[in-house]
Structure 1
Amino acid sequence: MSGATRHYVLAAGGTGGHLIPAFALATELDRRGHHVALITDERGAKIPGKPDFMPAHVLPAGRITRNPLSWFKGAAAIMEGRRMALRLFDSFQPSAVVGFGGYPAFPALLASTGAGIGSVVHEQNAVLGRVNRMLAGQVDAIATAYPDIDRLKAKHRDKVHLVGNPVRAEVLALRDEPFPPFTEDGLLRVLVTGGSQGASVLSLVVPDGLSMLQPALRQRLQVTQQCRPEDLEAVRERYRTHDIPAELGTYFEDMAARLAHAHLFIGRAGASSIAELTAVGRPAILVPLPIATDDHQAANTREMTRAGGARAIRQEAFTPKELAKQIQAIAQDPGTLANAAHAAWNCGRPKAVEELADLVESFGGSELMDVIRLADEPVGEREERYAGDAA
């Protein structure tokens, strides 16, 4: 803890993957006595879970695509977002700006790096995202969730700090709980999710794959599966036909409790999912989303699969027969499953939010410098001075 109250700005795209770690960091910085503001887009400002103490500022989030027709409009939006960010910095006087990826983070970090304000980016995936790649040469630090990061230039590796991905407090609280007892004749509880909306491929493959398990294992199944609304009845009928007990839903509010009781997870390889699986220590069959940018979900599976805590199946190879084969291998006996659970647990980084907060505080400057900054020229004028110095 720094002992001085500081101001920090967090900038994140409008998806849960970007905002969940931002909200966790905001809560930790607030606990340490700091003031925190959020920069995001209209979608992000409406996502549930934002701490009440953190005001949200919506900035234009221009995107520059491969289509040349988008360039002028995208660049104009980025520059307007940068000007708006500088006005916010003038009044809020942040000690540092932290970006979590996504296009709304880009103008905020352009403003902070140009004005000489401390800047950090956090990468949730095992591939450096597009916005973080564009900013890697300008920011002061790059916080990562995995030891191996693709698309990170060698010249920027000295900026890297491995901290992990912050997870929800209710999930982290399960880390010291033992793996649920799994015996030769006990239930095998399987949790299946495909992200916030479920995944149709899981609805198509998982029921039939579970039905192909050897009878001694199949007869002990107890399944909880999240489905898309349009898939719900068809999946229910599949499980009924296979005589496999299954609880289905389009959304489970008590996901942490369900994870606590699960012996095996089947689902996508999003950053938040893997962070939670490794925080709690749950074996997994992972099916990376094939259209994920830069194939980052496949990269996310590497650490966990190498450790023996998960098995990854590409979607094109994700058939009922292959799924049954992989489940049989990972859950063939209690010892195998428990070993996989322990391997997953060893990949967890439970102090991610504390270590990220420590890193952010390290770019806050001394208490004396904070006093000077508050009494000094506005951020916009300071940016011009930095630009002159650089020239």
Structure 2
Amino acid sequence: MSSAVKGSVSRHYVLAAGGTGGHLIPAFALAAELDRRGHHVALITDERGAGIPGKPDYVPAHVLPPGRIAGKNPLNWLRGLKGILSGRSMALRLFESFQPTAVVGFGGYPALPTMLAANAAKIPTILHEQNSVLGRVNRYFAGKVNAIATAFAQVDRLDAKYADKITLVGNPVRDEVLALREAPFPEFGEDSLLRILVTGGSQGARVLSEVVPDGLAMLPPALRSRLQVIQQCRPEDIEAVRARYAGHGIPAELATYFEDMAERLAGAHLFIGRSGASTIAELTAVGRPAILIPLPIATDDHQAANTREIVAAGGARAIRQESFTATTLAKQIQAMAQHPETLANAAHASWNCGYPNAASDLADLVESFGAAPIMDVIRMEKAMPAKGGEALAKSKLAKDSVQ
């Protein structure tokens, strides 16, 4: 339950995000920060997004129909356009009852009709771009919004003419991950266990299941005997991966999903996995060295772009998937972990790339747009029911909401 900060003006904000963890994790982090400041937040997403774990209970989620225009089939265009127009109308109805001070778009197709509705209603808008390449929806709205928040200093496809709108804030991460930032890097010496965390994003990655066990088996015996592996796998791959590790005599804990991922990251000496925006943000928030394998089919190759800063700083190694073999992986692990100081230095370099104040800085930016405080009070009073001062007016989208 949200509780307003004493002496502050309580405002309403709408966050619009696509249905992936990459879009939603920073949205959830911003929602939590705005709630701490006494504001009320509503989320607009799609069916996938409504089911992703981590959404704060006090944030209602409104599901919009898919509105993606893709492919060459005109019928798909018509269906996509119909979805966009329907979503825009639904968002406008929510705005009528919720009276948002500003709307924040995190990219993804559900953000498209929401941002269109916000422009039509003349509500201030802010974009947050999680990746090192401006996404398609954010690219479309870059010239129409009041501000653009970025997670990286260099963002491709972001026109220089929008420089006066851009604020570098970083990528907000979950509170439980940020809480690990001041904890020391796990002790690692000549005889210590080498704890390796392997994940491929929310759906796992088959290439990691195929390459990592064999790559670890190729390490020198003195290093291989100290391995302790935690790996996320696809359900259809997990038994084959288990058999590979058993055949190599390497202890490994495998699962299709880890509820306590922050705790696993806290104990890891080395991360191996994809380079999605949230992954990079969490690695740099905590300060963990990494071997990153960008998803080759990522739109505009943005996962490769996401590795630039951390690799340049010395906090990670990046391997293109076409070059990701057991031999290559073994060489990279050996180069990073053969000497304790090498791994510790990489951890520090990763830590230096982090943006621990991302959620707070983004919230500051969001709060800087909107009506004068007295107008916020007036609009809020209009949105409140006559009875029950802390209850929000019932949304006309109630039938489309997922609580």
Is the structural similarity TM-score above 0.5? yes
Q: Within 5 A, what are the aligned runs for 1:34-183?
A: 34-67=39-72, 68-183=74-189
Correspondence for 1:24: 29
CA distance in 1 between counterparts of 2:242 and 2:276 reads 26
SS in 2 for 1:229: coil
Aligned amino acid, residue 279 of structure 1 = A
- On the 8 A contact 1:6/1:364 being kept in 2, the answer is no
Structure 1 residue 38, shift from structure 2 partner: 1.2
Match for residue 349 of structure 2? 343
Matched residue SS, 2:236: helix
1:316-374 superposed Cα distances (whole Å, 9 cap, x missing partner): 00000100111111112011100000000000111111111111000133213335656
Deviations 1:243-276 (A, max 9, x none): 2121122222111111111100001111111111
1:206 pairs with one of 206, 212, 227: 212
1:14 equivalent among 13, 19, 22: 19
CA distance in 1, matches of 2:309, 2:209: 27
- Equivalent of 1:294 in 296, 300, 305: 300
Post-superposition shift, 1:115?
2.2
Q: Secondary structure at the match of 1:230?
A: coil
Find the aligned partners of 2:174 and 2:378 in 1 and give their Cα distance: 37
Decide whether aligned partners of structure 1 residues 54 and 189 sit closer, same or farther in structure 2, where only a CA change above 3 A counts.
same
The correspondence for 1:271, drawn from 277, 280, 287, is 277
**How many Å apart are 1:184 and its aligned residue?**
1.1
Percent identical residues: 74
Q: Distance in 2 between matches of 1:91 and 1:203?
A: 49
Instruction: Calculate the TM-score normalised by the size of structure 2.
Output: 0.90
Contact in 1 for aligned 2:9/2:376 (Cα 8 Å)? no
1:192 aligned counterpart, secondary structure: strand
Matched pairs, number: 376
Residues 11 and 380 in structure 2, CA contact (< 8 A), matched pair in contact too: no
- Aligned-residue offset at 1:163: 0.8
Query: Partner of 2:389 in structure 1?
Result: none
Aligned equivalents of 1:233, 1:89: Cα separation in 2: 49
Deviation at 1:7, TM superposition (A): 0.7
Which of 9, 22, 26 in structure 2 is aligned with 1:4?
9
In the TM superposition, residue 213 of structure 1 has moved relative to its aligned partner by: 1.3
Shift of 1:304: 0.6
Q: 8 Å contact 1:106–1:131 — kept in the other structure?
A: yes
Residue 248 of structure 1 is matched in structure 2 by 254
Work out the CA distance in 2 between the residues paired with 1:152 and 1:19: 21
Q: 1:197 to 1:160 in 2, by over 3 A?
A: same
Equivalent runs, 1:309-348 vs 2, <5 Å: 309-348=315-354
Whether the 8 Å contact between 2:64 and 2:90 is mirrored in structure 1 is yes
The answer to whether 1:368 aligns with 2:379 is no
Contact 2:294/2:318 (<8 A) preserved: yes
Query: Partner letter of residue 324 of structure 2?
Result: F
RMSD: 1.6
- In 1, the alpha carbon distance for the partners of 2:84 and 2:234 equals 35
2:195 aligns with one of 161, 186, 189:
189
Is the Cα–Cα contact under 8 Å of residues 103 and 118 in structure 2 kept in the other structure? yes
Q: Once the 2 structures are TM-superposed, how far is the Cα of residue 80 of structure 1 from its aligned partner?
A: 2.0
CA shift digits 1:220-257 (9 cap, x unpaired): 11111111122222212222222212112222211111
Runs (5+) with no aligned partner, structure 1: 377-391
Q: What corresponds to 1:387 in structure 2? A: none
Residue 311 of structure 1 aligns to a residue whose secondary structure is: strand
Cα deviation for residue 289 of structure 1 reads 0.7
Aligned 8 A contact 2:317 2:332 in 1: yes
Q: Which runs of 4+ in 1 moved over 4 A?
A: 371-376
Q: Deviations over 1:273-315 (max 9, x none)?
A: 1111101100000001111111111111111100000000000
Q: Report the CA distance shift for 1:358/1:368 in structure 2 as closer, same or farther (over 3 A).
A: same
Say if 1:237 and 1:375 are closer, same or farther in 2 by CA, change over 3 A.
closer
In structure 2, C-alpha distance between the alignment counterparts of 1:317 and 1:262, rounded to whole Å? 25
Partner deviation per Cα, 1:164-216 (whole Å, 9 max, x = no partner): 11111111111100001111121111111111232111111011111111222
The aligned amino acid for 1:157 is A
Kept in 2: contact 1:24–1:167 (CA 8 A): yes
- Given that residues 106 and 127 in structure 2 are in contact (C-alpha distance below 8 angstroms), is that contact kept between their aligned partners in structure 1? yes
Cα 1:8/1:237, change in 2 over 3 Å:
same
**Unaligned ranges ≥5, structure 2:** 383-403
